[in-house]
Structure 1
Amino acid sequence: MTVVIVKPGYAPYEADINGLDEMQKVVGGIIQAIYPFEDNAAVVCNDEGLFLDLPFNRSVPGGYGGVFGNFFVCGLGEEDFCSLTPEQVKAYKKEFHSAEILIGAKGNTPITLKVQPKAAGGSGREKGRDTPPGRE
């Protein structure tokens, strides 16, 4: 299925993933879906991202606060996840284009600073590192 992958500090990019194993690999663990959008799309993230001390990624609309660690946006079919439409891919790449730095929070609302993202990429690695910048 065609999704938009969003990694902390990086520009979102389009990718194809298939099956639960690949979904879990993208988010680094057990998946959780949240539904902050009015169209048929979901944010799929690591269910334990905050508890695993994953880096803050992006704010999410709809009162969901923010997501920690990698996530992807996918479409919603009648009974399962499905591919995003080309229009949705474009919209969600734009929605999550700016990287964010978490400064604080007021209740469940993250206070962030939007910054220019690093170039999108499949590996998420920079100079051979496995750890996101700032997490060394």
Structure 2
Amino acid sequence: MEMENSLSGMQRAVEGNIEMLLPFEEEVALVCNEEGKLDGLPLNRGIRDREGCLLDIVAGNFFLCRAPRDSSAFESLTEGQIKRYREMFRYPEMFLQMGREIFPIKIKEQETGRDSR
């Protein structure tokens, strides 16, 4: 999606104050609602390490953008990054809590009856 490159545009996209996470090896930021979990927004997607272990869960809307370390501005993703991250976040997830453990479950198109892109 294209969005206005301003603080207010980013806040509209995530429906609140923004928080920037840098969970990836490359210079890509995940920008989400700073208080999404506290406000009880729906859990959206899991963030995983290289081995696929769940590190965190994003609540509410988020977007990805380039965040070069030598700049204070966000930039558009490259075409290659769009393709990679679209595949990474393609399917919605449900989260099942059992005791102190949380188990993410990807909902694939066969299960929903439609493609979730």
TM-score range, shorter chain: 0.7 to 0.9
* Identity %, equivalent residues: 34
Quote the residue 1:115 is aligned against. Answer: 107
Can you give the 5+ residue segments of structure 1 that lack an aligned partner in the other structure?
1-14, 121-136
* Separation of aligned partners in 2, 1:21 and 1:64: 28
Greater Rg over alpha carbons, structure: 2
Deviation for aligned residue 1:102: 0.9
What are the ranges of 5 or more consecutive residues in structure 2 without an aligned counterpart?
A: 110-114
**3-state DSSP of counterpart to 1:81:** coil
Residue 16 of structure 2: aligned partner: 29
Q: Structure 1 or 2: larger helix share?
A: 2
- Cα RMSD between the aligned structures? 2.0
The Cα of 1:64 is off from its aligned counterpart by 3.8
Contact 1:102 1:112 in 2 (8 A): yes
Instruction: Give the number of equivalent residue pairs.
Output: 105
SS at match of 2:25: coil
Are the structure 2 counterparts of residues 45 and 106 from structure 1 closer, same or farther at C-alpha, using a change threshold of 3 Å? Answer: farther
Does 2:46 match 1:48? no
Contact 1:42 1:73 (8 Å CA) reproduced = yes
TM-score normalised per structure 1: 0.70
Choose the corresponding residue for 1:91, options 73, 84, 88: 84
How many angstroms does 1:110 deviate by?
3.8
Q: Which residue of 2 aligns with 1:66?
A: 57
Runs (4 or more) in structure 1 with deviation over 4 Å come to 117-120
The correspondence for 2:2, drawn from 13, 16, 24, is 16
